[in-house]
């Protein structure tokens, strides 16, 4: 069954309901060295990268705008991960990639309670994102997921990280620097939308539009 879906950026997409996506298609024991259930979201953790490969969650539209906690928690190492593979906030200090501590499950989508907000400050949910991309372009996709959750009532989100075969690494910590990352949004009524971002200091920032990052979701599955 194929349904037309109005996606909010002036486009209509048809998707096949029979091949519906599930978080477990990405976050499972085959793809992950360790699966972390943070209560509000799940992480597929890669020991070699010292970072997440996928992060998935379902946003409730009645919650994403229900609170706006201003005071942000401190980042903390996730002690569920073996010590030699976990990361700390200080690993990112003055790093050579000018990378932020980039959330995959974003704080603004989980700031409706102290507990949910604290959960996304686990360093297992953090990857190196070039600072201008994190603050100027990726943030638009994060805002869009909250808009969709509000409009549809609920939306499931999967964030994926692409490290490459021989990734660059932070000298201080050995954390792999991702080549790119993506965000997939979908629900069980036929909505599906995907965005792809290169983690490149030469990426276009000025004039960047959310629509510039729209990709075929089929290429990510």
Strands 42-46 and 12-16: unpaired
Question: Rounded distance, CA 97 to CA 105, Å?
Answer: 22
Residue 5 lies in a domain: no
The boundaries of the domain holding residue 44 are 23-220
Residue 91 lies in a domain: yes
Residue 130 lies in a domain: yes
Residue percentage of the chain with pLDDT more than 70: 91
Q: What is the mean pLDDT of the chain?
A: 91
Tokens of 114: 């102290």
pLDDT confidence band for 107 (50 / 70 / 90): very high
The residue assigned the tokens 């979701």 is 217
| Residues assigned a catalytic role | 103
CA angle 117, 123, 124 (to 5 degrees): 100
Residue 12 lies in a domain: no
Residue 155 lies in a domain: yes
Q: Which residues are annotated as a binding site for Mg(2+)?
A: 134
Contact at 8 Å (CB) between 45 and 55? no
Residue 65 lies in a domain: yes
Q: At 88, which CATH number?
A: 3.40.570.10
pLDDT confidence band for 67 (50 / 70 / 90): confident
Tokens of 130: 């070039």
Residue 17 lies in a domain: no
Question: Of the candidates 194, 192, 199, 200, which has an alpha carbon nearest to the alpha carbon of residue 213?
Answer: 194
Question: Of the candidates 150, 146, 157, which has an alpha carbon nearest to the alpha carbon of residue 182?
Answer: 157
Residue 35 lies in a domain: yes
- Check: pTM over 0.85? Answer yes or no: yes
Number of domains forming the structure of the chain? 1
């Amino acid at each position: 069954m194929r349904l037309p879906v109005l996606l909010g950026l002036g486009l209509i997409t048809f998707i096949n309901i029979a091949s519906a996506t599930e978080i477990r298609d990405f976050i499972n024991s085959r793809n992950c060295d360790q699966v972390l259930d943070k209560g509000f979201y799940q992480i597929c953790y890669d020991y070699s990268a010292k970072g997440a490969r996928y992060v998935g969650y379902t946003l409730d539209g009645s919650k994403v705008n229900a609170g706006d906690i201003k005071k942000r928690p401190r980042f903390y190492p996730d002690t569920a991960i073996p010590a030699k593979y976990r990361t700390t906030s200080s690993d990112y200090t003055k790093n050579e990639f000018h990378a932020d501590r980039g959330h995959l499950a974003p704080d603004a989508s989980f700031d409706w309670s102290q507990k949910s907000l604290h959960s996304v400050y686990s360093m297992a949910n953090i990857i190196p994102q070039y600072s201008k991309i994190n603050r100027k372009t990726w943030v638009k996709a994060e805002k869009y997921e909250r808009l969709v959750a509000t409009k549809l009532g609920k939306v499931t989100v999967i964030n994926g990280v692409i490290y490459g075969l021989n990734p660059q690494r932070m000298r201080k910590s050995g954390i792999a620097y991702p080549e790119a990352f993506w965000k997939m949004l979908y629900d069980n009524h036929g909505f599906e939308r995907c965005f792809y971002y290169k983690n490149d200091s030469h990426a276009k920032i000025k004039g960047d539009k959310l629509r510039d990052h729209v990709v075929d979701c089929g290429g990510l599955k």
